Amino acid sequence: MGFLVDLNRIIADAAGRQGFASVGFARLRRLEEREESYRRWLAEGRPGTMAYLAREPERRFDPRMLDPAFRSVVSLTYPYAAPVAPRIDWRAELRGRIAAYALGRDYHDEVTRRARNVADALTVASPGAIARAYVDTGPVFEREWAAEARIGWIGRNTMLLNRERGSYFFLAEIFTSLELEPNAEPYGEFCGTCRRCIDQCPTGALADGFLMEPRVCISYLTIEHRGAIARELRPKLGEWIFGCDICQEVCPWNGDASTGDANPDLMPSLPDLLALDDAAFSRRFTKSAIKRAKRRGLLRNVAIVLGNTKNPAAIPPLARALAEESEALVRSHAAWALGNIGGASARRALESARRRNSDPGTICEISDALERC
């Protein structure tokens, strides 16, 4: 027992040096309580276009199927800043909003490097041990193992919550062959009767019973969804072009999470983004989590938000995109946006584009937009 406790302390110290805020330990087991609900979730098609979530579900239920030598998990939280969005009128200034976690260097690279350093410290302390780090990679139930390791609870917004740190953190797991001493006491659940996240979700993605419908979640739509976004959902995106922080911002446990500093990078210029070609997109986002959406997905989102501004100043960049953009997905959403803004200038751009376009989806969007104009 003493050796295991000392090893836990060594791991916790190494995690602290790497910037991790919370460390928990749990023995691995099969998460039987998740099997029925997850299989039903898959059968109902709730993952949408995230087909990878249906691959090898057995490995999610029991990490020992990743490696039969695994015995324990070290669960870690790595905090990220929650800066304040600039106090500007996004409609007037043609600005869009990105989720705070996507600022700066791609967290996959940064947090994985730090988690691997902790894993290395574990194997140095116990030669011959196996330790493998995961950060949003591989078939791992991250929140469930974090809750099992007693570092938080899964809240109504379906995120892991911690009373001291809210939810503004990334999760990392280290699976190891060592039988580490688990955290003894359950963390508890502290959402109480609060339902702010449910009530203030623009698309109704959250529901009672700690449930989410990913297919209408703004984060899913702007990042994971690859095709056209349903017309009825486009106005509900509001200003969000990549991800969404609403269910975090309204959570009382995140009340003190803000840094208090306004970060202009949270609200980039929409016309500037819409003008990015492939090379410019790569230069700007190669080391950013935003590359996950790909250029066509990000510009699709940008077109929608420009339409949501209802600002006539958005017509020129949208008209250029409709006339010159190579991606039909972007052109079709630019057509919708022009119809959403309306007016004579938007109608002229749509009529001109209708004569030149051969893509059926774009033509359909142009026709619909002209009717709304």
- pLDDT bin (cut points 50, 70, 90) of residue 274 is very high
pLDDT at residue 259 is higher than 90: no
Mean pLDDT (whole number) for 92-106:
96
Q: CA angle 231-237-238, nearest 5°?
A: 120
Contacts (Cβ under 8 Å, ≥6 apart) of 201: 246, 247
Mean pLDDT (whole number) for 54-73:
93
Mean pLDDT (whole number) for 94-106:
95
- By DSSP bridging, strand 240-242 and strand 97-98 are parallel
Mean pLDDT (whole number) for 304-319:
98
Three-class DSSP category at 271: helix
Mean pLDDT (whole number) for 202-210:
93
d(CA 70, CA 90): 49
pLDDT at residue 286 is higher than 60: yes
Q: DSSP letters of 79-106?
A: E--EEEPPSS-HHHHTB-EE-GGGSSS-
Torsion, Cα 57 60 65 67, to 10 degrees, reads: 140
Q: CA angle 61-245-138, nearest 5°?
A: 25
- Angstrom distances, CA of residue 239 to CA of 109, 135, 245, 264: 28, 28, 11, 14
pLDDT at 85: 82
- pLDDT bin (cut points 50, 70, 90) of residue 193 is very high
pLDDT at residue 2 is higher than 60: no
| Nearest one of 342, 316, 320 to 330, comparing CA atoms | 320
- pLDDT bin (cut points 50, 70, 90) of residue 185 is confident
d(CA 27, CA 176): 10
- pLDDT bin (cut points 50, 70, 90) of residue 138 is confident
Contact between 167 and 155 under an 8 Å Cβ cutoff? The reply is yes
pLDDT at 209: 86
Q: What domains lie within the chain, and their CATH numbers?
A: 2-93+101-176 (no CATH), 269-373 (1.25.10.10)
- pLDDT bin (cut points 50, 70, 90) of residue 260 is low
Predicted TM-score (pTM) of this structure:
0.94
Mean pLDDT (whole number) for 312-338:
98
* Packed helices 294-309 and 328-341: angle between N→C axes, nearest 10 degrees: 10
- pLDDT bin (cut points 50, 70, 90) of residue 258 is low
Residue in the structure block whose two tokens are 């928990």: 24
**Percentage helix, strand, coil, to 5, in the chain?**
50, 15, 35
* Packed helices 344-356 and 315-324: angle between N→C axes, nearest 10 degrees: 0
Mean pLDDT of the chain, nearest integer: 94
Q: Which residues are bridge partners to 353 per DSSP?
A: none
Catalytic annotation, residues: 136
pLDDT at residue 4 is higher than 70: no
Three-class DSSP category at 203: coil
Contacts (Cβ under 8 Å, ≥6 apart) of 89: none
